[in-house]
């Protein structure tokens, strides 16, 4: 067996372990986000605060589009299309940043404050925890972009890209549950 074949075989074995570890991490994260959703329904019941609906849908659409560009980056590296890979990562990071500005820069500047009882605690708890994950994802994307710029990934070896993409899609999926729970479900209480 050649050194290259042996090395690729070891890489594939490590890849299985890495994937298992990542999915175990996501299971633990699911409990965190499920707890936040449970707190929302327990504390808000069938009510919700009066939030900016336009902002809610805009940041949601931006985050969903970012999932497309992340998928494009991952697909590009599988086909050794380095330019599309790097550009798509930058688009994804930029869209993530726009999402953060929308939530933290605008929603948090609204009329609800963290100290405003259950509405404030839940709104800031849910959006804050999600924003922290988006910020972590942006940092992860930029690290992968820098590694990719330096030639660390190719069609055969791209675990870092795969892990980053899975993380980003997971964060997007969490928002798919958070958005209706925060912005759409329940009767508005002024």
The 10s digit of each residue's pLDDT in 157-168 is 999 999 999 999
- How far, rounded to the nearest angstrom, does the alpha carbon of residue 74 sit from its chain's CA centroid? 15
Domain count, the chain: 1
Task: Tell me the whole-structure pTM to 2 decimals.
Answer: 0.91
CATH of the domain at 94: 1.20.120.80
Cα–Cα distance, 96 to 104 (Å, whole number): 12
Length, in residues, of the chain: 190
Q: pLDDT tens for residues 79-108?
A: 999 999 999 999 999 999 999 999 999 999
What average pLDDT does this structure show over 129-133?
97
Query: Structural domain of residue 161, as residue ranges?
Result: 3-189
Please, what is the average pLDDT of the chain? Answer: 94
Query: Residue 14 and residue 159: Cα distance in Å, rounded?
Result: 10
């Amino acid at each position: 067996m050649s050194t290259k074949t042996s090395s690729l075989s070891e890489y594939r074995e490590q890849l299985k372990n890495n994937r298992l570890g990542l999915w175990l991490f996501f299971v633990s994260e699911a409990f965190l986000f499920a707890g936040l959703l449970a707190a929302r329904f327990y504390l808000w019941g069938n009510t919700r605060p009066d939030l900016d609906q336009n902002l809610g849908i805009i940041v949601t659409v931006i985050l969903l589009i970012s999932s497309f560009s992340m998928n494009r980056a991952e697909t590009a590296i599988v086909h050794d299309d380095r330019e599309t890979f790097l550009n798509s990562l930058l688009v994804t990071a930029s869209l993530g940043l726009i999402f953060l500005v929308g939530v933290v820069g605008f929603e948090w500047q609204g009329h609800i404050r963290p100290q405003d009882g259950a509405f404030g605690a839940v709104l800031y708890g849910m959006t804050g925890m999600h924003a922290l994950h988006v910020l972590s994802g942006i940092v992860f994307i930029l690290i992968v972009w820098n590694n990719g710029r330096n030639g660390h990934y190719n069609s055969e070896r791209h675990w870092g890209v795969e892990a980053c993409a899975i993380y980003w899609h997971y964060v997007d999926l969490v928002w798919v549950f958070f958005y209706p729970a925060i912005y759409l479900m329940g009767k508005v209480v002024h």
